[in-house]
Amino acid sequence: MRILLTGRNGQVGWELERALPALGELIATDRAILDLADPEAIRRVVRDAEPEVIVNAAAYTAVDQAESDPELAMRINGIAPGVLAEEAKRLGALLVHYSTDYVFDGTKAEPYLEADATKPINVYGATKLEGERAILAAGCRHLILRASWVYSLRGANFLLTVLRLARQRARIRIVADQHGTPTSATLIADATTRALRACAAGSAGPRAIFHLATARVASRHEFAVEAIRLLDLQCIVEQATSGEFPLPARRPAFSALATARFERAFDVVLPDWRADLDQCLRPIREGLVAMPG
């Protein structure tokens, strides 16, 4: 299997670059090689690589910055996936694309299903939804994987922010009125590899949207408390409201994802978010990775 990966330096892309070689030849690209804001560059790179599978892990992920830079966010999140899908269809390739829980408005009281109505409340979510629609319109074979609250020990994410603040302060305040399904980049990469293996074996349909996240719902406050507990940091985590921390982009109050469809399709049981977080933080506890901050 010949695989073209975009976004190798991102959280999910970094993990995919280590997981995907188990499936075959991997061509991993970053922004220097493939700028998703340039449709002609996309077509050129894909045609040169002639992959059987395209895994698009690149995205414009600066949620707040997207509010003031919607054009660039749309080019990368909305238009580029459509170009990749057109090229995938031309080659007969499978496109794996990552979307987000932010395509929902957060008004539901239980985890969102794939068939639930989408209604993004910020520019980032709107551009990611447009990317989904562009893939569907292109008609290529595809797996669109919606993820939630992605984190890792690399880059910039909520987990690393919490750990940095917890080392700097004796007391921090974290919002308790936003709920989701925190998911590590490692879990996403491993689950993607499993799904691709199943697709290659012909045991799963190649045209679908799936939710890929951990089990059970967490508030940002609960997630922060558990991370600090796992690393035995001496920091008190107080509950706060979103209104105390106004940001340019609105966040859905509840954007947890239901994953039963993914689990059935690929014969996997996705872990509880606490178990996933514990696994992610293990290298720090074992002294293999330095503590952030």
What residues act catalytically? Answer: 124
CB of 94 within 8 A of CB of 200?
A: no
CB of 211 within 8 A of CB of 258?
A: yes
> Which burial class, exposed, middle or buried, applies to 190 when counting CB atoms under 10 A from its CB (0-12, 13-18, 19+)?
middle
CB of 238 within 8 A of CB of 174?
A: yes
Q: What residues contact residue 38 under an 8 Å CB cut-off, 6+ apart?
A: none
Q: Where in the chain does DSSP place strands (E)? A: 2-6, 25-28, 53-56, 94-100, 141-147, 150-151, 171-175, 179-180, 183-184, 207-211, 218-219, 236-240
For residue 17, how many other CB atoms are within 10 A of its CB?
Answer: 20
Q: What residues contact residue 16 under an 8 Å CB cut-off, 6+ apart?
A: 5, 8, 55, 57, 189, 192, 193
The Cα 228–Cα 66 span in angstroms is 30
